[in-house]
Amino acid sequence: MSNRLAALLSSWYPHKDECLWVLASIIETKRSSYRKTGAMMLINSLGKSYGLLSGGCLEADLMRQAQKCWHKGQSLTVCYDMQDDSDVTWQLGIGCGGLVKILLQPINQANNYLDLCLLKKQLDNRQHCFYHIDTLGTLTSNQVLTKSAAAIDPLIEIKPAPALIIFGGGIDAQPLVSLAKTLGWYICLVDSRTAYARSAYFQDADKVIKQDYSSLEQNLILPKADAVVIMHHNVTLDAQALQLVHKLPCFNATKYLGLLGPQHRTDKVFEQLTFTTEQLPAELANPIGLDLGGELPESIALAILAQAHAKVENASAVALGSYTETQQPLTRYGN
């Protein structure tokens, strides 16, 4: 299951009254930490947890701390200081060298479920919002806000999962859909051909559209796209998809646009169009993907999604470094 907040809330919501729940939120970090301020996880009294605040190092202890919340019926703040070798963190075998402060809050009807029901509704509707975590206990609950209130702290910006639109529902699109699903992205698959994009083969897609592309210019059913991959293996259909990307407002904020195939083939695609690559909403990745090696559809899907992920997250996609005895590399993933 994805560790994105929308997926966590979807797991919690149907069972919110069947057992006791705690929301665990990172409210402060210093130096190196696995996750940053605003990261959340859900813990229940049946011994299950959804999400991660560390690489699995703190979760068992957080389960123990959650029991204190249920016993006392109130919030609890715990601090794991990896800078202090006398802290419990060292007993857990963690050596990140940073500090993580976590707020645990009981979730129940009395505190309006910490406004998580509204937060889930916002994310289900793919709406951007802000979430205020009540660290001082001065409010009856956390609050979902539709606009930023800069004076409120901590105020967590909550964004819906990135939306990936794939034009072309051939067999090589299947691993791309599967990988994007693992990341928790919203996936829309589009193909006008009757023998392609069959729902039975793309059950991980959130939406499958099988319409003539000219009709999509008038029918506003395409979601706002963060990333677009065009992979029909058909020059005319590729051109029609690029025409949509060029014309429709749902693509105006697209951060990644990739077209499968070599550059000489792309020249043939643009022979059918009246605009240039400079007039597209994002730089065209062609040939598509990062140079990761491999020729199987799964390898190509990984190369495409890695490149798209970097663009969506405003990252460089360069190596973070290599370990030496005298100098350790920049740490982004793990402890």
> Which of helix, strand or coil describes residue 136?
coil
| pTM, 2 dp | 0.89
pLDDT band for position 331 (cuts 50, 70, 90):
very low
CATH of 163-312, one of 3.10.20.30, 3.40.50.720, 3.40.50.2300, 3.40.640.10: 3.40.50.720
CA distance 317 to 307: 7
pLDDT single digits (tens) 69-127: 999 999 999 999 876 665 555 455 455 668 899 999 999 999 999 999 999 999 999 99
State how far Cα 63 lies from the chain centre: 25
| Cis amide linkage into residue 297, ω under 30° from 0 | no
CA distance 287 to 263: 6
Token pair in block for residue 270: 């643009």
**pLDDT value at 45 more than 90:** yes
CA dihedral 240, 185, 176, 321 (to 10 degrees): 120
Largest CA distance in the chain: 70
pLDDT band for position 141 (cuts 50, 70, 90):
confident
State how far Cα 167 lies from the chain centre: 21
Residues 6+ apart with CB under 8 A from 31: 83, 96, 97, 98, 99
| CB < 8 Å & 24+ apart, contacts of 185-190 | 185/161, 185/227, 186/126, 186/160, 186/161, 186/162, 186/223, 187/163, 188/163, 188/164, 188/222, 188/223, 188/225, 189/165, 190/165, 190/166, 190/216, 190/222, 190/241
What are the boundaries of each domain within the chain?
5-128, 163-312
